[in-house]
Structure 1
Amino acid sequence: MVADPAIHHDAHGEAIEPAIQSRVLRIGRPAQRWFHHALLLTGGNLHLARSEGPATVTAPAVAFFPPSAEDTITVAAGSRGYLIGVSPEIIGEAIGEHAESTALRVFSAGFSVTEALEPTSLREMIPLFEGALAELAMETRTSRMVVSAYMRLILMTVWRLQRSPAAEERQASAGAILQRFRQSVEIGFRRHRSIADYAAELGITTDRLHAICQRTLSRSPIELVHDRLVQEAKQRLERSARDVQEISYSLGFRDPGNFSHFFKRKTGLSPARYRALAIKRTSDAAIQTSSDYHDWP
């Protein structure tokens, strides 16, 4: 077999081994900055920070994501899995010109995560990732053709998972969880409940709730709760004659100063200033007035 000495400029891979502390993988820097990455998480969880928005991945899960500047992966302590990155050229070779190629080309350009993998799917993918890592570890004997072949198999497997009935069922389940979360927020946002309380009520982990919210709405659960709280504050400032202190207490803030700080941090205006501008109605551009709950988020 003829080895490709330049393959390590176009591909890299590593096994994610359990550690006692979290660690950060900076995959958004040269030369990996332009790589496509495939991730198989067999245990634990990790947080992926991307310029397009963050995501939390909980095992067992597989993810595929295109290049993104300044990407970082924060791997939680005790997590394990596999990470493989390849250049656009190798992705092009892996996709090739076949019946599925057009669909794969579109799929590879987007971000994809499949969680709650069935044991059979996990058993199918582990040898693919381990095979690709073993090939990349050969140093002087690594074959570009073999690496491309493994990437084709990984890409096809992930793509099929996304189109499977089980994936559609998981998506429907995520939608139901999100709807229940919205209902719980509507009932409890004035009590300043913790996200752990919401997750426990829904019967899921906080990581799972975070992942659903991020993937569906590109917002974290706490951001969504704060959005609802700000929306209610805006409505009361616009439509109520009560002073800021009374509104603060009615929204569950023990200290009106904390409410003012929170509101200004979220809107850029103090409650009093927001109310003054709302009364004057100087222009729609001056402030963003409140909306009804059915528009949230």
Structure 2
Amino acid sequence: MRRIPNYDLYGESAQPPGYGAFNFEWIPERSRPNDWQIAAHRHDALLQLLYIRGGGGHVTIEGVRHAFDPPCLVVLPAQTVHAFAFSPQIDGLVITAAQRPLEALVEVTAPGIAAICARAAVIPVRGADPSVGMLAPLFALLEQEYRSGGRGHAASGMALMAALFVHVARLSDLAAAPAGAGGNRRAELLRRFRELVAAHGREHQPVAFYAQRLGVASAQLARVCREALAQSPTTVVNEHLIREAQRELAYSALSVKQIAHAMGFEDSAYFSRYFRKQTGLTPVAFRAAAHRQWTQEP
């Protein structure tokens, strides 16, 4: 079976999981020497964010090709298999950061934003929303911090990344909602719903709980989720729980029973059945597969 290379950046052997990294590059720096083609690979512990300002090409994420339509953002969480084909005219940047420290920082400062760090996406950058105007200054500060190499530059870079992902999440919500005032209201509703899920997902609350907190009927929340996300509210909650459980299984030393309790499941056997129904693997099998990937040589 062909192995998917595990890289630190585009073509460098990966450091052990949890490696603290913060890197800023312009895409041509790395892609030109590789003839503008980056073969399928993954990063076990690193998240990448690309900003495509101009040029062409595509990214293939888990076997699905997405053509660049600049300006756009590309979010690639750790363990996502991806490949690039850039045109020689490509204009853009790529930022690499250790995913787990970034997620931990975001969970504390903006818990409703954490989900955007865990979901691969291609996000258009359009319109006059204030978040569009915030991207360039944040990218400039991130590059300055990285190039300076000054004391605490990694910590400062992570703080800037947390601020950046707030705006990435807002742009993602806008892209998921129709244009106009109604679309803005839907985007705000989705943003608040995700924040509530991040805060209360482990409590296993019913959809009615979230609808009441949002001040809407359960049917309205379900309709907005179906139209904007092609998912039910229950699916949104389930996906959040599964992402949390997967991160704990992959990166922590907690037992399956301890993770089950941390996820709000009183019965670890039921948690295992739930996890398998959602992912096709038992928690033990998922953890074993993640650890095998870590030990594979590129």
* TM tier, smaller: 0.3 to 0.5
The two structures have a TM-score, normalised by structure 2, of 0.46
Structure exhibiting the larger radius of gyration computed from Cα positions: 1
Q: TM-score, normalised by structure 1?
A: 0.46
